[in-house]
Chains A and B, each alone.
Chain A
C-alpha cells in the first residue's frame, strides 16, 4: 500500500493537512486580499504603507500555495516526475519544501511573539490556553480600520497590552468586554513565552534560505576558480592551489567564527562567510575534472573554433562536471546548515531578529532540566534536514560518477 504512494499523492496529503489545520489563517488571508483591494481603490496614495514585508510574504506564500495545488492536480497526468514512487527522502524533502514556502501560512504566530510570561512560560507541548482580547471601549479599537484589524489577527507580531493568555476562560465576558479563544501550543512554548512551532517553522526557513544562498556562492567561487586553475595551469594553478590549501589548514569553524566576529553577525555576512568558507573541496574537484577533460577532442575543437572562455565553461565543461559538482554542493549544503546552527549554538551569531535552529538548541540547553521540548524539536528538524540532504547526495553520487568525494570540512 505504502509503496504505491506517488509523489503527487504525498503532496496532496500535505496540502490537505495544511488546509485542515490552518483553515482560519487561509480565510483571513483571503479577507486580507479583499481588504487590500478595497484600499487600493479608495486610498491609492497609501500603498507604500500597506505592503510591509509581512504582507508581501503572506500574499506570495498564499499565491504559491494556490498555484501549487492547481498545478499538482492539473498536471499530475502529464508530468512523469509527479507520478514517481514517493520514497521517505522525497517525502521529507516535501515537508521541508512546505515549511520553506508556506512558513507564514503554517506558523500560527510570528516567531518573536511573546505571550504574557506567568501563564505562557515553558508550556509543555499540546497544552491549551485561552487567548483573551480585552476590548476597552475607550481604547482606539473602534478607530482601527478594517485593514488593521485583519492585519492584527494575521500577524500578531507583538503582543499588545490588549492580549492576555489565561489558563481558564473568563466566565462573565460582558463585564470586561473581552473575547476569549482557546489556543493550543502544539510544540509548547519557550522560556520567553514564545510559541515553539512558529519559531521552528521560521527558523527552518531561514536555515534553508541561508543554505541555498550560501551554496550558490560556494558553487560560483568553486567552479570559477577550479576552472581557471585547471584550464590555465602553471602559476595560476599553483597559486590557487596554495590558497585552497591555506583555507583548508584552518578548521572550517575557526575560519567562520573569525570572519563573523570581524565582519559582524548580520544575516548577509553569515551567508557570505558560510558560502565563501567552503569553496575549497569544490575547487579541487572541478580542477581535477577540468584537467582530465581539457585534452578531450570536443573541448579542443571548441577551443579551436574560438569559443569564449565563459562559453566553453558553460557549454562544454559544465554539463560534464554537473554530477560531481552537484554532489559536492549538496554535501556543502548540509555542512552549511550545521555550521550555521553551531555558530548560533556557540553564541556567535543567531542574534538577528529572527529565530534560528542553533539558537533554539542553545536556549534549550539552558533550560534542559525544566523543559525538554525546547531542545528536542529543533534538533529533530536539523536531523531531518541533514538526513534528507545526505540521502540526496548519496543517490546522486551513486547515479553520477563512481568517484568518491570525501567532502572536506
Chain B
C-alpha cells in the first residue's frame, strides 16, 4: 500500500514538474513571438547604413533582400521559429557574425559579473544583519535603517558617477573603464587578479549597492517575522543560546523565501547592468542589447532577449521546483494555476 502511494506521489510530482516546465516553454514562446512582432512593427531601417550617397543605391536593395525582410511576415515568422529550433539565431546585421558567437563572447562576462555581484549582495547584507543583530536596538540599527533608505534612493547612475568622480577622476585610484589593462595577457596570475579587481571594483559597487539594501531590508523584515514565531520563542525560553538559535534556526528559515525571488533579482541585475556597463565601458550583454536595439540589428536583439529570457526563466523554474519541494502550501496554489 505504502509503495503504491509513493509511486503515485512520485508520478504526480513528475506531472507537476512537467506541467510547470511546459508552462515555462509556453511563456518563452510568447516572449519570442512578442519580440518578433514588435520588431516587424517598428519604424527604423536595419539596412540604413547602406543608404549613403557614396554607395550604389542597388547595394541597399540587395542587402535588404538578403535580410529576408521583404518576404511575407508569416513566412518570416515560420522561418524564424524553424531556425530557432535548429539553434540558429541568424547572422548579426552589424557585425556580420553569427549571433550565437556574439552572445557567447559577451555572456560569460555578464554572467560572472552578475553572479559575483549577487554573491556580494547576499554576503554583505548577511554580514550587516549579523552585525546589527549583535547590537540590536542601539543607535547603529536605527541609523543604518535611515542610511539604507537614503542609499536606496540613489539611482544606479548616480552611484556610478559619484564613484567615478571621487575615485577615478579626483583620486586616480581606479581606472575609468574597461575590464582589464591592455597588457593583460603578459601578466602573471596575481597581477591579473589585481588588475581585474582594480578594474571591476567600482562597477561591482555600483551594481551591488542597491541590491545590498534591498536584501538587507527584505531579510531584516523576514528575520523579525521569524523571531516572532512560536518555535523560536520556545527555544529561547528553554534556555538555548540566543546566537546559536539565531544562526541555526532563524537565518535558515528567513532565507528560504529568497530563493523565490532569485529570478526577479536576476532580471534586476541584468537590467541594472545596462547602466553600469555604459558608465564603465564594460563589454556586457546590456550594452550589446541597447546598441543592437538602436541600430535595429534584429537577429542580435532577438538573440539577446532570448538569452536573458532563458536566464531569468530558468532561475524562476528552479525557484518553482524548490518551492514545490519545500512548500506544501504553494503546491496547493499550483493546482489553481
Contacts and interface: CB of A to CB of B under 8 A. Distances in A.
B278 A346 contact: yes
A251 B307 CA distance: 11
Contact of B158 (A243, A382, A387, A409): A382
Interface stretch (A12-20, A158-166, A174-182, A234-242): A234-242
Contacts of B38: 258-259, 262
Interface in B1-55: 23-24, 26-28, 30-31, 34-35, 38-39, 41-44
Interface string B158-170: 1001001100010
B283 interface: no
A59 interface: no
Name B's interface SS.
helix
Given A262-B38, A368-B169, A379-B158, A254 B43 contact: no
Contacts of B294: 261, 348
Contacts of B270: 251, 254
B24 to A, nearest CB: 8
Given A249-B312, A342-B155, A261 B264 contact: no
B149 to A, nearest CB: 6
Interface residues of A, number: 50
A291 B333 CA distance: 10
Interface string A370-409: 0010010001001110110011001000000000101011
B93 to A, nearest CB: 15
B289 interface: yes
A96 interface: no
Query: What 7 A-B pairs come out closest when comparing CB atoms?
Result: A251-B271, A262-B42, A386-B153, A253-B271, A387-B153, A249-B309, A246-B31
Interface of B: 23-24, 26-28, 30-31, 34-35, 38-39, 41-44, 149-150, 152-158, 161, 164-165, 169, 218, 221-222, 261, 263-264, 267-268, 270-272, 274-275, 278, 286, 289-290, 293-294, 301, 304-305, 308-309, 312-313, 316, 336-337
Interface of A: 233, 237-238, 241-243, 245-246, 248-254, 257-259, 261-264, 291, 338, 341-342, 345-346, 348, 358, 361, 364-365, 368-369, 372, 375, 379, 382-384, 386-387, 390-391, 394, 404, 406, 408-409
28 contacts: A233-B336, A245-B24, A246-B27, A248-B316, A249-B267, A249-B316, A250-B309, A250-B312, A254-B293, A254-B308, A258-B301, A262-B43, A263-B42, A342-B157, A345-B157, A346-B274, A346-B275, A346-B290, A348-B290, A358-B157, A368-B169, A383-B155, A386-B152, A386-B155, A387-B150, A387-B153, A404-B222, A409-B271
